[in-house]
Structure 1
Amino acid sequence: MLVRCSTGNLSLVAFTLVAALYSPQNLHAQTSQLQAQQAVEAAVQSELSAAQTDKSLWIYRGHDVTPGKDVTYQAVQTPDGELKRIVERWGRPLDGAASDEEMSRISEYANDRSAQAKQRKEDAHDDEQASSMLKMLPKAYLWTIVSETPETITLAYQPNPAFDPPNMESHVMGTMAGQMVIVKNGNRIRTLRGKLVGDIKIAFGLIGKLNQGGTFDIERREIAPGLWQITETHVHIGGHALFKTIGTQEDEVKTGWKPSPAHSLPEAAGLLKNP
């Protein structure tokens, strides 16, 4: 996930936090802040490590809703990439002609090395960007503990006024606040949710703006021992660019996870013939 830009004035918040942390009568607050920071750093390291070592492949069913689109699809992952076949639109199964067209599209892609290479390049870029954003989490926010159970720890985050975003993509982090839930066993991130606490202005607002109040919620679950996947994504952010509506409005839920036996895209296409 992640969207992309103007921070509000948080100097008073920062001053209040620093005063609380270093006040002699608030040693517990200082300890809690340190524990929260350590929890985030451990979770980030666990996720980065898992991204390098987890080579598991899956079959799952997804339901994706965006403005003007409501589709249910079956997905099959392979070492060469992933194939998705739409099986329903707006809650209704595809008719024969639409189903044949969908399989034709899948078969064509499964045998198009150029298209596959382009997709792998885009996926690699997305993975690199996600990794970079993940590494910024400990520094981009001020973290505090909200609650804790034997299994999980819930943290709240606010923009860190000392964070200097290195690029436009990371600038958005200066306007987000919310909560993160970490599962202690393995230090894995289960939930990351938040909202834009300020407008995100592109070129000082001359080109566009994403509106304050936009929300996102990413849910991850352990679908097999030690193996985690994003199971829900809910993003509702609005705005405009040169008088055109921009932003992201999407709700996607993934269920029915099971190991994929496909070793290639043609094999995945064969499995999708009977989803």
Structure 2
Amino acid sequence: MMRATIPWLLAACVIGSSAAQIQAQDARAFVERAVQNELAKDAADHTRWLYYEDDRKPESPVKQWVADTANGSLKRILQLDGHRLSQSEQLDRLNRFLGDTSAQAKARKSSSHDDAQATEMLQMLPKAFIWTKTGEQGDNTILHFKPDPNFRPPDLEARVFAAMEGDMAVDTRQLRIASLKGKMIQDVKIMGGLLGELNAGGMFDVERRETGDGIWQITETHVHINGHALIFKTISEQEDDIKTHFKQLPQSITMQQAKNELMQAPEGTVALR
């Protein structure tokens, strides 16, 4: 009787294992489609936006209006390091930036680097993690991810990202990523810990929403990661960045026109409620 039962138990285990593998493959394929769709949509998106940003970095918190143009972003800083700027100070900063081509080039380079890094992380999603569909939530498909031990991160940023476990929400109809939340489940050592270490427990949370017809933007970014480098230097990525009050601008808007839009915006968001 026992000998007759064992083959059936083994068969059930094999079938169960195969079913889990198929589910994981289906989830990864779904993530791959979402990533490819995001990359295609981003490449085709040439819209320009005005928005209010509350960027809460401990070392330099800032509240500002931001206007996108083909030549980069223009910022009207309302509050810096807890100090509210007068309108004349705001205008002076805008004019100085408009007259400084090297500052504009530096800002564009920084923005381009951030975009490239975001693209790299996006492309990593299907490869760096083991994915499981965990359910539906409204219009979203919810997926859980954990590090894939077979993945080899190409750089330090990728190593940090690949040490995360968390959940992703994808708008099922539009196949757009609505949120991505992760927590570091293991330390990340730089050169075996000789040059530094990022501590387990760090987290990130990125929220996105549709701001226009088929146009999605990041509206919230929360990053809290700690560690140390070269024994004495603290590594700290602490930021809570919230973007609201999106308004679409003309695609061909110039820097000067963007300046006018910025100066017409209210001192804060209270007037827009």
Instruction: Please give the range of the TM-score, normalised by the shorter of the 2 chains.
Output: 0.7 to 0.9
Change (3 A) 1:40 1:77: same
The answer to whether structure 1 residue 138 and structure 2 residue 126 are counterparts is yes
Match of 1:264 in 2: 254
Partners of 1:77 and 1:160 lie apart in 2 by 37
**Cα displacement (A) at 1:159:** 0.5
One-letter code aligned to 2:148: N
Question: What's the CA shift string for 1:102-138, capped at 9, x where partnerless?
Answer: 3212212123223222322332232222212211211
Partners of 1:203 and 1:102 lie apart in 2 by 44
Match of 1:7 in 2: none
Mark the runs of 5 or more structure 2 residues left unpaired by the alignment: 1-9, 266-273
The answer to whether structure 1 residue 254 and structure 2 residue 230 are counterparts is no
SS in structure 1 of the partner of residue 125 of structure 2: helix
Between 1 and 2, higher relative CO (CA 8 Å, sep ≥ 6) is seen in: 1
SS in structure 2 of the partner of residue 103 of structure 1: helix
SS in structure 2 of the partner of residue 229 of structure 1: strand
**Cα displacement (A) at 1:36:** 0.9
Partners of 2:62 and 2:113 lie apart in 1 by 26
Partners of 2:263 and 2:209 lie apart in 1 by 28
Question: What's the CA shift string for 1:167-194, capped at 9, x where partnerless?
Answer: 2332223311111100012210010000
Residue 205 of structure 2, aligned match among 199, 217, 235? 217
Change (3 A) 1:90 1:167: closer
One-letter code aligned to 1:244: K
SS in structure 1 of the partner of residue 193 of structure 2: coil
Partners of 2:83 and 2:103 lie apart in 1 by 29
Change (3 A) 1:107 1:155: same
Partners of 2:162 and 2:115 lie apart in 1 by 21
TM-score when scaled to structure 1?
0.84
Contact 1:210 1:246 in 2 (8 A): yes
Match of 2:151 in 1: 163
Contact 1:154 1:180 in 2 (8 A): yes
What are the residue-to-residue correspondences of 1:21-170 with 2, within 5 Å? Answer: 23-89=14-80, 93-94=84-85, 96=86, 99-149=87-137, 151-170=139-158
One-letter code aligned to 1:25: G
Contact 1:210 1:247 in 2 (8 A): no
Question: What's the CA shift string for 1:11-59, capped at 9, x where partnerless?
Answer: xxxxxxxx9xx82135543332122111100110011101110111111
One-letter code aligned to 1:42: R
Match of 1:181 in 2: 169
Quote the sequence identity (%): 43
Residue 199 of structure 1, aligned match among 162, 187, 194? 187
Change (3 A) 1:88 1:129: closer
RMSD, aligned α-carbons: 2.2
SS in structure 2 of the partner of residue 245 of structure 1: strand
TM-score when scaled to structure 2?
0.85
Contact 1:157 1:179 in 2 (8 A): yes
Partners of 1:239 and 1:160 lie apart in 2 by 23
Contact 1:194 1:216 in 2 (8 A): yes
Match of 1:244 in 2: 233
Partners of 2:61 and 2:16 lie apart in 1 by 55
Partners of 1:117 and 1:89 lie apart in 2 by 22
Largest Rg, 1 or 2? 2
Identify the range of structure 1 (111-120 vs 217-226) with the bigger mean alpha-carbon deviation.
111-120
Corresponding residue pairs, total:
253
